[in-house]
Amino acid sequence: MSDLSTWLRLRADALAPEQVGRRLIGVAVVAAAVVTVVVLGVVLPDSIFGTLLSIVVTESVVGSALRLSVPIALAAVGGIFAEKSGVINIGLEGLLIISAFVAVWMTEVTGSLLVGFLLGVLASTLLALVFAVVCIEFRADQIIAGLAVWLIALGLAPFASQVVYGGPNTRSVRTIPTLPELLGFLPAEGTIPQRLGAPDLGVPLVDGLLQSAVEILSRPPLFVADVLLGASLSVYLMFLMVGVGWYLLNRTSFGRWVRASGENPKALDTAGVSVSRVRYAAVTLSGVFSGLGGGALALSIGQFTGNGPTMVNGKGFIAIVAYLFGNYNPVGAFLSTLLFAGLDAIQVTLQTSGTTGLPPSLVRIIPFVTVILVLAFVGKTRIPEAAGDHYESGEDG
């Protein structure tokens, strides 16, 4: 087993120089762009940069970005485990859809938000397990099988909703509570510094300076604390599971097995670890994480919407881009998701305010264009060498 760990470490060290240069350039370009927008926004508050800056630093945009990140980030972490093990799971969209519907349906049937949520996760996990059996046991093409998972869920969930509710949309159920709702208190208005206020010393000049200090401290990043205090529990679940995913992948024997299964399954087999079992476990985990994301998405709204591409609306495919952009690192995938979700929240606010003077169709594509530009600087992500390949040892055969 130590030989396997050494191989993985040497493999990672050998790959690092090829990617570090372009990634550093990409980070520098993004940082320079952010600094430029901030400086121009401060210097020219009436310009489009000033408008953009005023929108970015609002609590509504930050809160929306976190909320929109939940299903994408959780599905992305699940996709990392599957693909790192050598199984490409492009059916994340389908897993999100099926878990979203079942979570709402079972919440109404059982009357319990927690039970409904867990049954949604179970549904996604079972569908992922079926996908794993088809790909690992019956050696089906993983891309075709992943598309089948998506199409089955895309048809099955609205059909089930039609049977149960008489339409593609379910009835409304209770939503996942926020932290203040769970603890039984309502957050006070204003940010923490604003609620503390400035002392009145009776000296106009000093009092004016203290009031200015309170206003400055009410700006980012301190108002983020208020956003987090008022966030849904699904946001905290996202933070927790991203950390759990990172720990499992990088600090456990199972994580080493997953990485070896996707890079060199023969070495893993030689070390006496079943490649099939590792891949089954990894794909099942992708179902668990995606189920958490789908359930959180539906129960944050309190309803499943099955019209068109359903309420999931491509989030599973964005999750694939996120973990590729994050270079198969759960934390990197989360940051990539937060970038996209933040841009999405900004474009919605820009469309609502109508302050840009641009057609809504152009504003709508801002997140996608920005991500493409960043990807161009970051460079190509190297997928695991054995991803998509079937493996059968003498022991597993």
Q: What is the pLDDT of residue 3?
A: 54
Residues 116 and 110: beta-carbon distance below 8 Å:
yes
Residue 299 neighbours by CB distance under 10 Å: 26
Helix axes 275-301, 59-84, angle to 10 degrees: 160
d(CA 246, CA 338): 17
Cis ω for the linkage preceding 180 (within 30 of 0): no
Residues 234 and 300: beta-carbon distance below 8 Å:
yes
Helix (H, G, I), strand (E, B) or coil at 178: strand
List the one residue out of 185, 195, 182 whose CA is nearest residue 225.
Answer: 195
List the one residue out of 155, 171, 167, 145 whose CA is nearest residue 98.
Answer: 155
Tens digits of per-residue pLDDT, 330-344? 999 999 999 889 888
Tens digits of per-residue pLDDT, 343-360? 888 887 777 766 556 677
Tens digits of per-residue pLDDT, 187-215? 545 544 444 455 566 556 565 665 655 55
Tens digits of per-residue pLDDT, 36-87? 876 776 677 677 677 676 666 677 788 888 999 999 999 999 999 999 999 9
What residue type is 19 in one-letter code? Answer: Q
196: left (phi over 0), alpha (psi -120 to 50) or beta: alpha
Q: What is the pLDDT of residue 337?
A: 94
Residues 106 and 119: beta-carbon distance below 8 Å:
yes
DSSP code string of 204-252: HHHHHHHHHHHHHHTSTTTHHHHHHHTSBHHHHHHHHHHHHHHHHHHHS
Residues 304 and 153: beta-carbon distance below 8 Å:
no
Fold of 2-169+232-378: ABC transporter involved in vitamin B12 uptake, BtuC (1.10.3470)
d(CA 221, CA 242): 22
Tokens of 71: 């299903």
The residue with greater pLDDT, 186 or 75, is 75
List the one residue out of 97, 103, 100, 106 whose CA is nearest residue 151.
Answer: 97
**Model pTM?**
0.84
The whole-number average pLDDT for the span 274-280 is 97
Helix (H, G, I), strand (E, B) or coil at 169: strand
CA R_g for the chain: 23
CB burial of 123-136 (b: ≥16 within 10 Å; e: otherwise) equals bbbebbebbbebbb
What integer best gives the mean pLDDT of the chain? Answer: 83
pLDDT at 224 over 80: no
